[in-house]
Amino acid sequence: MLKISFFLKKLGTEQSNLEHITISSPKKISEGKLAGLYECEVYLSIPDFERKQHSIYSTNPADALCLASEFVKSQFQFLIDRGVYSINEVESKEPWKLEKKDPQISLQEKIDEIKNNKNISEEGKQEILAILKKTFGSKNSPIKDQVNKLV
């Protein structure tokens, strides 16, 4: 399990909150349509998100962890791009420097990776895309419009 702590500050205020992200160790799925894939659960304690726990899937445990970290990074990038929050180190209080990349392009690349993955069955791809749409296409997701367009 990986736990990341950070200060989340709503812009225009002086108060910042200590928040956490937890990424579980990858577990192999043994039953159902996603059998054979690995799953990492990501828990976000960010106040603006309606859903706190998210499942990330891949064909091997290393990729599941990488995708989970990319997911977290993209969520932070969307919060920063919206101009609502700043994210700072716990110890030094220094702001995090996140890559300046168009979030729409990053999201498109990740969804295309799922759609073009030859190691996942068509049923598995459809289920993963449906989970993405259900999870991030909801009313309180900062990326709902992008996900609904791409999936």
The percent of residues in the chain predicted with pLDDT above 70, rounded, is 87
pLDDT 10s digits, 111-128: 888 888 888 888 888 888
pLDDT 10s digits, 47-99: 666 668 889 998 889 989 988 988 888 777 777 777 777 888 888 888 887 65
Distance CA 128, CA 33 (A): 10
pLDDT at 139: 64
CA angle 43, 22, 14 (to 5 degrees): 85
pLDDT surpassing 60 at residue 100: no
pLDDT at 31: 92
Distance CA 99, CA 137 (A): 24
pLDDT at 107: 75
pLDDT 10s digits, 5-49: 888 888 788 888 888 889 999 999 999 988 999 999 999 887 666
Per the DSSP assignment, residues forming a β-bridge with 23 are: 2, 42
Per the DSSP assignment, residues forming a β-bridge with 131 are: none
Task: Annotate 62-80 with DSSP letters as a single string.
Answer: HHHHHHHHHHHHHHHHHHH
